[in-house]
Structure 1
Amino acid sequence: MGSSHTHHLDGLEATRRLGARLAAVLAPGDAVLLTGDLGAGKTTLARAVIAQLCGIEEAPSPTYTLVQVYDTDAGDEVWHADLYRIEDPSELDELGLDDAFDSAICLVEWPDRLGDRLPPDRLEILLSGENTDLESGRKARITGYGRWEERVDDI
């Protein structure tokens, strides 16, 4: 069913700190699925992970390219995918996400577009709040599935 807990994020910096904590426990083969309304902070959280792992402070959003791939300082890959524009899961065939789930650190925005391709070992982060103003505070519900059930408390 999944093991979960909730973090209160009292502003933009809290979202970035969560990204830094998350980056500290990620390894190749880890899939992090980011869910929330437009403006909820999914890209902010992904950028914080990328900054920590790859040293890139202003990573572009992959809204139009669908996937951006970065190299970590350790030589691993980080895949940042934004699936908002995917209308049918068959469109995912060309992206290579299935293979990336096995070998890279994957940060996926709008994971509902994956359909039945959800990786069994995954960390789901639902960002929510009363509005989309990151400075006013949000909640991050973090749920681990598969091997993440044992690791979710490390964040």
Structure 2
Amino acid sequence: MRAILLPDPQATEAFGAMIATRVRPGDVVTLEGTLGAGKTSVARGLLAALGLAGEAPSPSFAIVQPYEPPEVRFPVVHVDLYRIDDPAEIEELALDDARYDSLLLVEWPERAGPDYWPDALRLSLTIEPDGTRGLTIGVPEAWRSRWPT
């Protein structure tokens, strides 16, 4: 696990943009953290770097927000599991099917259970006492060749 500090929202979005240089269809990136920690900001930075014009909405209400070319370089499914109460509900979202040709960005992955996406790049955001964001990065074996050491 690596930890870094993100001093402001622009740095949080810039981190998301950096991730965009390393993702590909079939990947899962999970975003954990309390409300307001910056999960959606990371996702917005990533989506903008993949070509999305304008601001990406938070998928909190819709739960699943898909993006398709030409608005992004390749298909992306942005998911917010905050309103999911039972992990069994996740099966109904057909997220495993989406992984075949899409990048899966998952906010609140803990609602699915700890081992639901074992090969995901795990990003955990915290709000530090000074207002900066702490980011802990869990890099699984499947990502090691693409992730800087």
TM-score w.r.t. the length of structure 1 is 0.86
Which sections of structure 2, spanning at least 5 residues, go unmatched?
A: none
Equivalent AA in structure 1 for residue 89 of structure 2: E
Separation in 2, partners of 1:56, 1:93: 30
Higher helix share: 1
Mapping for residues 29-108 of structure 1, pairs under 5 Å: 29-73=26-70, 76-108=74-106
Residue 151 of structure 1 deviates from its aligned partner by: 2.9
Aligned residues: 148
Percentage of matched positions with identical amino acids? 43
1:22 aligns with 2:19: yes
Residue 104 of structure 1 deviates from its aligned partner by: 1.1
- When the two chains are superposed, the root-mean-square deviation of aligned CA atoms in Å is 1.9
Residues 54 and 72 in structure 1, CA contact (< 8 A), matched pair in contact too: no
Residue 150 of structure 1 deviates from its aligned partner by: 3.6
Q: SS state of the match for residue 103, structure 1?
A: coil
1:36-92 Cα distance to aligned partner (Å, 9 max, x none): 000000011111111111323311111011000002457521010000000001111
Residue 7 of structure 1 deviates from its aligned partner by: 1.6
Separation in 1, partners of 2:89, 2:6: 34
Equivalent AA in structure 2 for residue 58 of structure 1: E
